[in-house]
Amino acid sequence: MERAEAWDLLCEYTRTDSLRKHGLSVEAVMRAAALRHDGDPERWGIVGLLHDFDYEMFPDKHPTAGKPILEAHGYPEDIVYAIQCHADFLGLTRHTMMDKMIFAVDELTGFVIACTLVKPNKSLSEVEARSVRKKLKDKAFARAVLREDIYKSADEIGVDLDEHIAFVVDALKPVATEIGLNP
């Protein structure tokens, strides 16, 4: 289970730069979450990197279409299961903190990035939790983001939403340039 192999798998199934950047951003947040929760940053990072790898090719069957592909590539059961857990509509029980965190950071990471892109300098340093929370109430802004997942996941991990937003913002800063933002 090498990060380089995970990147190659992502690139094989994901052609768009924006979805690859989403994978990179969720990977960064999952690595930070692993450090915070005594997890393995490599495992958690791979979950973040690959959680949407099958979305472009199988949008109507995501993430279940990716499960046999991951298994065929030898990914461990806990990684495959965590990736499935980010899709709340599957109704899976999130057992581990890794399962809970992929659900907790997926939608919020994308939303934080959307909030950053409308800032004058496209800088994460300009993003504050209160402004993100305000944008969450604006249904026209980043309308594809599942806001209910953001609220539900913060409750599941037992953290204040503002604290969770600040964590995601900080976790994205090391990869800001790579994902098209300023730190």
127-176: pLDDT as tens digits = 999 999 999 999 999 999 999 999 999 999 999 999 999 999 999 999 99
CA–CA dist 163, 143 (Å, integer): 23
Question: In a 3-state reduction of DSSP, which class is residue 182?
Answer: strand
pLDDT score, position 56: 97
Question: What value does the mean pLDDT of the chain take?
Answer: 97
> Domain 3-175 classified CATH 1.10.3210?
yes
Give 103's Cβ-side CA count (13 Å radius).
28
Per residue in 75-85, pLDDT tens? 999 999 999 99
First to last CA, the chain: 30
* Residue 1: band (very low, low, confident or very high) from pLDDT cuts 50, 70, 90: confident
